[in-house]
Structure 1
């Protein structure tokens, strides 16, 4: 048996070196802009003042008091982002960020909502591991490399392939079968993991083999930029990256101004898609958001590093700023404060693990 699942939520925060940290799940990455602003206000009032984007299209607030003030928890609950206290840590649903906005073979945003409601409705699924991941791909293949546990890839509006343990094994399903089949498999996994403590489907190969799955053709890799979703104007939307995934108050204000009462889509590559906001790209860039795939900040990611993390041996934020400040072209690069490599991208990248500042600048940016 492995150690207990310590994945944080709001009702079970993580105690970091910089204070308490909470994580909010946002199925499909969608959040109203006014709610994003409210969370930003809470981060300023109680924490370090920024919203941290996660690799599962969610949000983290850091530097919070420990224990959390009840007023903070009540304020987060009032946003509507905690529809089920028992299921808050298992609503890990990533969907193609541009679905229903531009491209793709089907709009899976409705399936995202339906799957979230179905997960919450099953008491037994509250026991799923906090790392268990559902992925809904609209046919473009952009989220299939996110180490899914259960997922779906649309081949058209009427259906596609249900995926188990990865993108290459699954079953053909109609669109109407997607949610009940995913829920049924999640329940079966929850029962199968009881004696093992497994966190992921791939840790139970015998259970996977019992499902009589068939090979699924893997689609060609989508055309994307270093930030996953191409940056700039995409089908009328504004697609931007957030430097080091740290969204500041002024940036949130610019985002809200760009979309008004609309919603924002957080991407699993720690960026934002703002529907209908392509005309606001200059103002978003002025606020410090990245609108160009060639920009240095679009090429760079990092773990939170020291001093916020007890394991971190370097200040990754300072190192990243030094690299960008050199003004040289960077390859896709991830900075890690320790060997855990938290937040590292799944694609090809240069991996810098806890070097000294001088060594890292030399290795990536040249002399």
Structure 2
């Protein structure tokens, strides 16, 4: 553990009161199953969304043999199995363990690592941050103190394009193509990285070789601050005033761990670039070096049948590099196909019901589980969202153009349907919130997590119940 740090100002949206946590988080895992209305649920953490063909096959077998025959993709690039029986825990753990999906059972719920899904696959990638992600996962799984992190604490590794940097990481590192502290110099993929904690716009410049250790050390700083505050905080944004983390305080912790850090008062990459999300989330064929292609597809509302999953796995095995990548926009990337096979395979995936066209009305539409899977939901939001898509509208009704920063619902804003006020799985940044209420759906634009616009009631396409 790092030495205790002095309290520092909280970096949190203005006016937001931090919660006091008197218990550990209840996030499900692969070993801690969650009881849902449709059976038990298991969430399998997949750092950086990485899966080998063998591991993907094991998940398909688990869904087939133990679950409801489907796999769900999460907004953190993880996979969920639903409809599990009460007594399947040991058998599920055995399947996952044999496939190498449980490198440390004590750490399995904290392996929350997002990385740019297209890193190393296209012509615009300044760094393969996925190497950092693998090393960070190894460090996490061998660090005893890290087990105190909550199942919601999130590490984000952005390759410099800005596609995942704004997805709400507690510790975020954005790759730089050069630079690094003068004492260390760039020694990792693509040079160094800028490290941010929570919502602090300031950053620390870290040498490439130190990035994985720096991410873990920053998490240790959080645990120290959370323990000193007595708040039981699960995430950086929950730290109370006087104990919040800022870059200058984390720099002291990094130096205590022997990691050089250069303070950057105004991180130029802290701003969200709207187009970066659209570019990386769009399905289709990605042109890469050496005449190789990657296929990027989306699952409608993040849900796949085992047959669709096995088709993806077969393509990765037969024509790809033997791996798949799950994305935070509930999609799958198959890397490194020969150019001659890419178009045919994409048509095959489209015929199987996956989203392969960026112009698809399903692109950038998501939903919570809804009924019947979630007892808290007021309605079957997935069926309602599907009905709205069939009618040609991503949300039930249009908001006034003045309320939409991108001039209308059809200009690229993510749309998320929720069955209750928890809004599980909602996007980050600016998005359209479609919330089921007792009177019908209410639609509003959320410009950030703290300040949604006033809800505008509109008729629901189907009555709620």
Pair 1:334 & 2:367 matched: no
The residue that corresponds to 2:329 in the other structure is: 269
SS of corresponding position for 1:189: helix
TM-score for the superposition, normalised by structure 1: 0.92
| 1:184 alignment partner in structure 2 | 217
Q: How much has 1:188 moved relative to structure 2?
A: 2.2
> Which residue of the other structure, out of 105, 115, 138, is the alignment partner of 2:126?
105
Q: Quick one: distance in 1 between partners of 2:67 and 2:86?
A: 11
Q: State the alpha-carbon separation in 1 of the partners of residues 283 and 299 from structure 2.
A: 11
Contact 1:33–1:255 (Cα < 8 Å) also in 2: no
Moved more, 328-337 or 285-294: 328-337
Say which SS state the counterpart of residue 158 (structure 1) adopts: coil
Q: CA deviation at 1:172?
A: 0.7
Aligned to 2:266: 215
Partner of 1:353: 435
Larger deviation: 90-99 or 319-328? Answer: 319-328
Name stretches of at least 5 consecutive residues in structure 2 with no aligned partner. Answer: 1-19, 178-189, 252-262, 288-292, 396-408, 444-457
Distance 2:272 2:433 in 1: 25
Q: In 2, Cα distance between the equivalents of 1:310 and 1:191? A: 37
CA shift, 1:208, in A, is 1.6
What is the SS of the residue equivalent to 1:34? helix
Q: Superposed, which structure 2 residues align to 1:28-39 within 5 Å?
A: 28-39=48-59
* Aligned positions, number: 365
Match of 1:240 in 2: 297
Cα distance between partner residues in 2 of 1:48 and 1:216: 46
CA RMSD of aligned residues (A): 2.3
Distance change (3 Å), C-alpha of 1:355 and 1:323: farther
- Cα 1:24/1:329, change in 2 over 3 Å: closer
Equivalent residues in 2 for 1:186-335 (5 A)? 186-194=219-227, 195-204=230-239, 206-209=243-246, 210-211=249-250, 214-218=265-269, 221=273, 223-224=275-276, 228-235=280-287, 236-260=293-317, 262-277=322-337, 278-279=342-343, 280-327=345-392, 331=409, 332-335=414-417
**CA–CA distance in structure 2, aligned partners of residues 168 and 364 of structure 1:** 39
What are the equivalent positions in structure 2 for 1:146-161 lying under 5 Å apart? 146-156=167-177, 157-161=190-194
Q: Could you tell me how far apart the structure 2 residues matched to 1:329 and 1:63 are?
A: 28
Greater CA drift, 356-365 or 9-18: 356-365
348 and 182 in structure 1: CA distance in 2 versus 1, 3 angstrom threshold: closer
Aligned to 1:118: 139
User: Distance between the aligned counterparts of 2:380 and 2:197, measured in 1?
Assistant: 38
Residues in 2 aligned to 1:250 and 1:364: alpha-carbon distance in whole angstroms: 33
Listed as ranges, the gaps of 5+ residues in structure 1 are none
Q: Who wins on radius of gyration, i.e. which is larger?
A: 2
Counterpart in the other structure of 2:90: 70
Q: Shift of residue 191 of structure 1?
A: 2.4
Describe the superposition over 1:181-226 as per-residue Cα deviations: whole angstroms up to 9, x where unpaired.
Answer: 1212212222221222111112335342433653311266163465
| Cα distance change of structure 1 residues 348 and 84 upon mapping to structure 2, 3 Å threshold | same
Q: Return the alpha-carbon distance in structure 2 between the equivalents of residues 189 and 173 of structure 1.
A: 18
* Contact 2:194–2:204 (8 Å) recurs in 1: yes
Is 1:244–1:300's contact at 8 Å kept on the other side of the alignment? Answer: yes
Quote the Cα distance in structure 1 between the aligned partners of 2:379 and 2:460: 16
Once residues 51 and 329 of structure 1 are traced to their aligned partners in structure 2, the CA distance between those partners, rounded to angstroms, is 23
Q: After TM superposition, give the deviation of residue 179 of structure 1 in Å.
A: 1.3
Quote the residue 1:173 is aligned against: 206
Q: Is residue 117–residue 327 contact of structure 2 (8 Å, CA) maintained in 1?
A: yes
- Of residues 28, 31, 41, the one that matches 1:21 is 41
Please report the TM-score for the alignment, with normalisation by the length of structure 2. 0.74
Q: Distance in 1 between the 2:441 and 2:268 partners?
A: 43
